[in-house]
Structure 1
């Protein structure tokens, strides 16, 4: 394979600049997963000091979730339309982090999923490798569709990337404050059918291998639940610093029914089990 062809076929070589102060290729590697370090999106906590002062007073995750929800409603105008609002304002679709999470729960390959993957790309420098099709060549029809959906003005009329920045920092704050275990990683599972396409090192026969997962990926908290979503069940250690969402983070029951955890992807060491 020529050097040019290799660049086109290896998404890890497309990693770009980010807002976390670490090389994107390092952040998306098994080396980082083996030795995770704290990560923050530059400027987010400094821009919202009032939120984190209020969170520091909370004694439970539920209380923190109430504070976070109220803050986001005020900061980004996410509350119900008021009588004094103009007709145009009452009709205006206001994108929110909750609507994106709800959309992801229905289908990670819909427009909401594209916006979330685009946020990961812009903040962590990691492009997706799949959206309705493999994003292994550029340009391609799959890439065009992804770019159109992730930049759709319907989802970018209310500072959606900034909302997701705050959600990520709130998630990280919650894990530091309320996580019962001091372990830097969580054991999580993922059900899938397309293992061969994601394989980077090793083989499925060996069961222990390295796979390149999408830049934002869903995990389950139990192997049994994960097994409902594919013939193969992948077990892996996910750094807490890569989590965007976990059940109980919010009062809204979005994604809670399936015990779904959202994490930044990249290369992971996995133990694969068939059936």
Structure 2
């Protein structure tokens, strides 16, 4: 658990609101997306209050065999196993063209290695590849990688671009793997985990707002903050308190969840009831641990 730094009111006075140029960032983002909703709307607090269904164009059609097999699953555990079997068959070593015995063995990226790297450090090259996936599929650029990214082509943005282009992790159709993971998570939510539920109550601990600045302050305990384009939450408030004295409580739309504990029988993020959430401007309730 982080140490407290002054009383809540003292901390509040140290957090400046972003200017209007910063608040307009999503609308001015240059990237397109593959989900059919304008980026400015997709990243807005209004969307998060009234979410629309989202699908990554072409993913379910391309991987129709997987989703046909999932319909036969009788439990979440069976569905998760079918998913992992399919991913191994489609993207694992046996799915690759045979290499010459003399050729050096290539490192093949896969979604589990990215999740493991994210679990160690979301500012790692693995984290940059995952943020790049969000940017390419949802159009939302990252606002933080190792440090605050204030502008395109600035030093922080260049560091992010260098990490995201790491040949060690950006290969083997890794973005397609994340597409399939996202669509599977959405299917599993509706089928087993939260049928008919539009929002999840999740928590995040922090000690300052450098990584997720205010867009609008409502009162002492409520604000709209700008979350990074991919960010970790937990369903357990006590676990959130281990990462900071300020607890952000958020109603996260299910359509913004890429991954969650319980989705797969084998994965490296089991310890913290973790959810990986696609970012934007979120209404938050601020409590203190």
Q: Give the corresponding residue for 1:144.
A: 158
- The whole-number CA distance in structure 2 between the counterparts of 1:199 and 1:8 is 10
**Are positions 1:120 and 2:134 aligned together?**
yes
Q: Which has the higher helix share?
A: 1
Q: Give the corresponding residue for 2:13.
A: none
- The whole-number CA distance in structure 1 between the counterparts of 2:161 and 2:223 is 31
The number of equivalent residue pairs is 269
Secondary structure, in 3 states, of the residue corresponding to 1:108? coil
Q: 1:254 aligns with which of 255, 268, 284?
A: 268
Distance change (3 Å), C-alpha of 1:209 and 1:9: closer
Secondary structure, in 3 states, of the residue corresponding to 2:242? helix
Distance change (3 Å), C-alpha of 1:8 and 1:267: closer
State the Cα distance separating 1:242 from its structure 2 match.
0.6
State the Cα distance separating 1:85 from its structure 2 match.
6.1
Secondary structure, in 3 states, of the residue corresponding to 2:147? coil
Secondary structure, in 3 states, of the residue corresponding to 1:154? coil
* Structure 2 residue ranges without an equivalent (≥5): 1-18
Secondary structure, in 3 states, of the residue corresponding to 1:229? coil
Q: Give the corresponding residue for 1:153.
A: 167
* Structure 1 residue ranges without an equivalent (≥5): none
Q: 1:20 aligns with which of 22, 26, 35?
A: 35
Secondary structure, in 3 states, of the residue corresponding to 1:261? strand
Q: 1:176 aligns with which of 187, 190, 195?
A: 190
Q: TM-score, normalised by structure 1?
A: 0.91
Aligned residues of 2:232 and 2:274 also touching (Cα < 8 A): yes
- The whole-number CA distance in structure 2 between the counterparts of 1:10 and 1:143 is 18
- The whole-number CA distance in structure 2 between the counterparts of 1:141 and 1:79 is 40
State the Cα distance separating 1:90 from its structure 2 match.
7.7
Distance change (3 Å), C-alpha of 1:273 and 1:89: farther
Aligned residues of 2:23 and 2:215 also touching (Cα < 8 A): no
- The whole-number CA distance in structure 1 between the counterparts of 2:23 and 2:224 is 17
Further displaced range: 233-242 or 131-140: 131-140
- The whole-number CA distance in structure 2 between the counterparts of 1:175 and 1:8 is 34
Q: Give the corresponding residue for 1:38.
A: 53
Q: Give the corresponding residue for 1:68.
A: 83
- The whole-number CA distance in structure 1 between the counterparts of 2:103 and 2:61 is 30
Taking only aligned residues, the RMSD between alpha carbons, in angstroms, comes to: 2.2
- The whole-number CA distance in structure 2 between the counterparts of 1:73 and 1:90 is 22
Q: 1:98 aligns with which of 106, 112, 116?
A: 112
Q: 1:81-100: CA deviations, max 9, x gaps?
A: 9xx86446782100000000
Further displaced range: 41-50 or 190-199: 190-199
Q: Any runs of at least 4 consecutive aligned residues in structure 1 with deviations exceeding 3 A, and if so which? A: 5-10, 78-81, 84-90
- The whole-number CA distance in structure 2 between the counterparts of 1:130 and 1:93 is 27
**Are positions 1:131 and 2:145 aligned together?**
yes
Q: 1:191 aligns with which of 193, 205, 208?
A: 205
Secondary structure, in 3 states, of the residue corresponding to 1:138? coil
Q: 1:11-50: CA deviations, max 9, x gaps?
A: 3234331000000111111111111111000000000110
Secondary structure, in 3 states, of the residue corresponding to 1:252? coil
Aligned residues of 1:20 and 1:42 also touching (Cα < 8 A): yes
Q: 1:175-226: CA deviations, max 9, x gaps?
A: 01002453200000001122265111115x6211100000001001111110
Aligned residues of 1:9 and 1:136 also touching (Cα < 8 A): no
Secondary structure, in 3 states, of the residue corresponding to 2:88? helix
